[in-house]
Amino acid sequence: MKTEVTEIADKIYRLSTLVPQIGPNGFTFNQFLVDADEPLLFHYGHRAMFPLISAAVKSVIPLDRLRWTTCSHVEGDESGAINEWLAAAPNATPAHGQVGINIWVTDMANRAPRVLKDDEVIDLGGKKVRWLDTPHVPHNWDAGLIYEETTGTLFSSDLFTQMGPCEATTSGDIVDAAIATEKAIPYMPSTPQAEPTLRRLAALSPKTIALMHGPTFKGDGAAALTALAEYYAAKH
């Protein structure tokens, strides 16, 4: 396996690893590096992938420059390598929403975490990242997403998941593939929170949606998120 590095927006990098053994055609796992005065990593990745992913990050910045780490929710591909990152990046602070801090980060992380309030903005110096509490979207009570305001980039975690290999970026439709995946693998609960949370994300009008499993979407992010909201509204 190899981790490919692609700049998907100004100083925002997609670190993508295709695992061919998953599913009929493979499955991508993506992490994202926001390079700024205080760089941030979104998604820790699996522990087994840490050597690949950390080498990819080192191709962009030295690991001791990393200042922030976070992820959407507790799950192997999201949070598995949290302590490997904290050991390799001695100046990085793990951050998460209050629920995540309460139910797992404080216990699991080998360094004291920083609580992020809903809608709190961290000024990274050249980039501004907003934390959004999104419980059960895509799944788990502790779920949250981040939005980089200067580039209009939404880091969407498992939203819009699709199977198989893909290009680093796309301007094509991502909704049909996401719905097909959800029908095959119903990973996101259709709770009363799904539709309003997706509409809240649509109101950001992101120019870029950075998928954890699939290509990075460049285009009308509000339309894509609204279409997904309508799908979950019809299900509920």
Cβ neighbours of 208 (radius 10 Å): 20
Q: Residue 192 to residues 37, 71, 74, 135, 177: CA-CA distances in angstroms?
A: 39, 23, 21, 11, 23
The reply to whether the predicted model has a pTM over 0.95 is yes
DSSP 172: S
Q: pLDDT digits over 99-144, tens only?
A: 999 999 999 999 999 999 999 999 999 999 999 999 999 999 999 9
Q: pLDDT digits over 51-85, tens only?
A: 999 999 999 999 999 999 999 999 999 999 999 99
Neighbouring-strand partners of residue 27? 19
- In what helix (H) or strand (E) does residue 209 lie, and over which residues does it extend? strand 208-211
Average pLDDT over residues 151-174: 97
Please give the order of strands across the beta sheet that includes 68-70.
3-9, 12-19, 27-34, 40-42, 68-70, 93-97, 114-116
Can you give the pLDDT at residue 37? Answer: 98
Lowest mean pLDDT among 10-19, 140-149, 185-194: 185-194
Q: What is the rounded radius of gyration, in angstroms, for the C-alpha atoms of the chain?
A: 16
Q: pLDDT digits over 206-235, tens only?
A: 999 999 999 999 999 999 999 999 999 998
Neighbouring-strand partners of residue 114? 95
3-state helix, strand, coil in the chain (%, to 5): 30, 30, 40
